[in-house]
Amino acid sequence: MEKYERIRVVGRGAFGIVHLCLRKADQKLMILKQIPVEQMSKDERLAAQNECQVLKLLSHPNVIEYYENFLEDKALMIAMEYAPGGTLAEFIHKRCNSLLDEDTILHFFVQILLALHHVHTKQILHRDLKTQNILLDKHRMIVKIGDFGISKILSSKSKAYTVVGTPCYISPELCEGKPYNQKSDIWALGCVLYELASLKRAFEAANLPALVLKIMSGTFAPISDRYSPDLRQLILSMLNLDPSKRPQLNEIMAQAICIRPLLNLYTDVGSVKMRRPEKPLAPVPTVTHSRAGGRVSSARPRGVRGSSAKTGIPPPLSSIYTWGSGITTPLRLPMLNTEVVQVSAGRTQKAGVTKSGRLIMWEAPPMGAAGGPSLPGATEQLQPQFVSRFLEGQSGVTIKHVSCGDLFTACLTDRGIIMTFGSGSNGCLGHGSFTDVSQPKIVEALLGYEMVQVACGASHVLALSNEREVFAWGRGDNGRLGLGTLECHNCPQQVTIPPEHEAQRVICGIDSSMVLTVKNQILACGSNSFWPVLHLWEQPARAAGHQLLPQQPPAPPGCGAPGNEGHRGGLWGCLHCGHRSRW
């Protein structure tokens, strides 16, 4: 032990104690398994030695690395890699009811798949594959399987008979006492995939006999409809009661649902050498949203030179770029393993919606956390760095649209419910108070309506229902809420729209608002500070004031639209036909 410094006990297993240690030679954190051998039976001693023997045979980026073993104080000490992100079981438990998106599930699954394939190629059964034995790195993006204490090295055609493993993950053939081979690990792999998709175990019961009956019947609750039929079918195939009908690991890898995450994984870690084109084809923008102080663009590349639909290689995931607020050229934002279909940017917030309906946030690290201060006399500033993360606390809901304000965010679910979170200082969250909220919370005042759109200004929000009703809340100065007053409101208030107009879309500026009508006309209210914007909503005679109620802008001279008379001086850009003239 002179090479290691013990830090703390991190776990207690069936055979001993697990210590977190510091290797003195290079200051690297390690795990030391302390397995007492003095009071062990012969079988227990063999099991401890077996773990060392198994670990020596394995070398894979998704398998916990083995370093050495030695005897210390009548105990066998096994030194191995430390995974600071905890176990996959802990990761799942912390999510409560917030389902993972399918891309994240597959990102984890294919890594476990590759690790198990490596184990099986060494003619080894894991025999205790479960989420408690799957570990995560500090970023919780790389998974590694461990705990081979009850593994069994097999000859190429032998079968194991010993009934071992965690009861919730044991296969039907183990329950019946039948011989089994690698297909039992595939059953356990199916249980792990089900747990990733449903956040609960496939088979659970109050006692062992009831659990065995459930496993033998092969019945379990279906996963959420938000997931693809391919994922559902993959789980069913691995949890087939007949071992011979469960797919082999190489057959699972060849399935269409696994090809894309496997390709992404190998591309990311550099295991596949891919020659990138010098000039990628122009991306096709999907859905974008921007306001003063920042801009974000989401694009899916059309393809890569040299590839075609005939190759069967799936296209890469989305790329997200931002610029503005001192960023003079588009800066690519870091991406998690997912596809983003809509983005929004405020002066302080950047967010996106994934294909599976989850929120992803991009945040700048604290001042000084990345890159440090610029050197004295430096003429170039370092590009700001951003960190991407999935937002917790969605409670299993599916988000279809997000809009960002200053220090707060609003999102719309697929069921027409608006949720907000962030700073409540201006009443922008609409919860009837000025309290900050860290997790998405339903705007309860709008639960009686089916909302179809939400838009955020710097410190106010507009929302539109399927009945074309408009609601506003937040700061009311300059008349930005369109309620006829300058008062602030921390709860949604219905905006009176002239009866001859029907709202089709709402748009928020920093301190102004607009409503696009069904007839493609615009109603607007709010600050009138900047004259180039004046013609969009205000009569020339009121150039010094603010519009408190939504009002239709007039058409400029020379335009064939109604209301084109009586204007003098100033440059106009017509909202009706694009005509530009002076009044």
Catalytic residue ranges:
128
What is the 3 state secondary structure string of 23-83?
ECCCCEEEEEEEEECCCCCHHHHHHHHHHHHHHHHCCCCCECCEEEEEEECCEEEEEEECC
Distance between CA atoms of 297 and 384, rounded to whole angstroms? 17
Alpha-helical runs (H) found in 239-334: 249-253, 256-269
- Distance, CA of 27 to CA of 496 (rounded, Å): 67
Name beta bridge partners: 332: 321
Beta-bridged to residue 353, according to DSSP, are: 342, 359
**48-73: burial string, b at 16+ Cβ within 10 Å, e else:** bebbbebbeebebebbbbbeebeeee
Q: Which of 325, 291, 348 has its CA nearest to residue 513?
A: 291
Rg (CA), the chain: 30
The Cα 199–Cα 97 span in angstroms is: 7
Structure tokens at 229: 């039929």
404-422 in b/e form (b: 16+ CB < 10 A) is bbbbbbbbbbeeebbbbbb
Of 419, 425, 538, 420, nearest to 479 (Cα)? 538
How far apart, in Å, are the Cα atoms of 271 and each of 71, 127, 231, 525? 37, 28, 25, 56
